[in-house]
Structure 1
Amino acid sequence: MPINADYRGPAELPEVIPVFPLPGALLLPRGQMPLNIFEQRYLAMIDDSLRDGHRLIGMIQPDAAHSPDENKPKLFKVGCVGRITQLAESGDGRYILELTGVSRFEVVQELSVKTAYRQCKVDYFPFIDDFTARKGEDDVDRAALLAVLTDFLKANNLKVDWEGIDKAPNEALVNALAMMSPYGPPEKQAMLEAPDLKTRAEILIAVTEMDLAKKRTSGDPPLQ
């Protein structure tokens, strides 16, 4: 994991962080998320994060289903803070960056701020296990995960680097597959809020199995 900072617990992270609401975006601890930043308010957010020195951005999904104001949608209660570990300028006003996940957080309060981007007071303590790499990965049913991955790849005519998957530890494998999964905000949020790695893997397996079953059913000829 390409990261210079060693965060050993919640006390080493700021209580107030800028947040980037993005539907369908799932960042998990020690996972890498590429971002293409072009809106002025988020360019300012990146500049401020670099200027302040913490290089931290909170990724969180907007809760569109419960948002009366489309211009400022309500946020889900749980997100994940990431550190900017790669940054490049595109030459046309954009930032191309990569976030490395540090820890999930609960939103305590969204603050009234003068910045164009939103900021929240957050609490990391409910997810203190996020600071321990690979915690609980021995409980993951790797065989079941790989079986459903194989079915998904076949159903969608996709290929994957099996050598890389075989070498990946369970935490990296589960989190990478969850982050790359093509599912909607509710499914992504469920995987984000899973209490442990085993549960996250089980949710990913269940959602994928339901998706595959739905595709098989819709592809069947109509009954006579």
Structure 2
Amino acid sequence: MTRITIFPLPGVVLYPGLQLPLHIFEPRYRAMISDALARDRLIGMIQPQRPEEGAPLFSIGCLGRIGDVEALEDGRFNIILEGESRFRIVKELDVTTPFRQVEAELIEDSEDEALAPVERASFEREARRFADMQGYAVDWDQVARLDDVSLINGVSQIAPFDPAAKQALLEANGLGARCELLVQLMQFFGRHGEGDEEGVTLQ
């Protein structure tokens, strides 16, 4: 078991091997960063189930190591968090710190998973269609050079889906399962996301 300081943030997920830039301004999270820098530089990104103070947490998040740090004069921080491992919460701890902490088990994900060529082709086809619908400019030559893990996890991390969808992607076990879900979500949001000012949700 591992004790993890957590940063609950709705709509934000991190994946192993990827980076997440964060601007830290709330006093309790400034304290969290100062504490992490003095210890092991590790914090866990996880989504709350509701966007409110003290809300229950989803069970799976991602442990990140603080890489680049910019400490601003007024106490705020700009940091780059580097994803290391997904984790599953066992229990939340009763703590006196202003930030929450949990006991968790780390999830071992394979670093060399690969998609079947037909899966990769299907994903890229759907991604092009989705990007066109959303008006995104994408360097497809650069996309083609990405390995399967970086591609699928990278799109899962930045895709403009609701928190429940982003959580489902994070919880998917195996690259193939995550890729399949990502294609389904792009199809779903591509069909239903346009012209809906309130957005669309899978909850």
Greater share of helix: 1
Q: How is 1:56-67 mapped onto 2 (pairs within 5 angstroms)?
A: 56-64=42-50
CA distance in 1, matches of 2:116, 2:64: 25
Pick the structure with greater CA Rg. Answer: 1
Determine whether 1:91 maps to 2:73: yes
Determine whether 1:164 maps to 2:142: yes
Determine whether 1:137 maps to 2:114: yes
Per the alignment, residue 107 of structure 1 pairs with 89
Give the unaligned 5+ runs of structure 1: 1-13, 219-224
Instruction: Check whether the contact 2:115–2:175 (CA below 8 A) recurs between aligned residues.
Output: no
Task: Name the TM-score, length of structure 1 as normaliser.
Answer: 0.82
Per the alignment, residue 10 of structure 2 pairs with 23
2:47 maps to amino acid: Q
CA distance in 2, matches of 1:90, 1:150: 40
Quote how far apart the aligned CAs of 1:71 are. 2.3
Per the alignment, residue 206 of structure 1 pairs with 184
Per the alignment, residue 77 of structure 1 pairs with 59
Quote how far apart the aligned CAs of 1:102 are. 0.9
Report sequence identity in percent: 37
Quote how far apart the aligned CAs of 1:32 are. 0.9
CA distance in 1, matches of 2:62, 2:191: 31
Task: Name the TM-score, length of structure 2 as normaliser.
Answer: 0.90
Quote how far apart the aligned CAs of 1:162 are. 1.8
How many residues end up aligned between the 2 structures?
Answer: 195
Q: Deviations over 1:4-40 (max 9, x none)?
A: xxxxxxxxxx710100000011111111111110011
Say what the alpha-carbon RMSD is for the aligned residues. 1.8
2:135 maps to amino acid: N
CA distance in 1, matches of 2:2, 2:104: 5
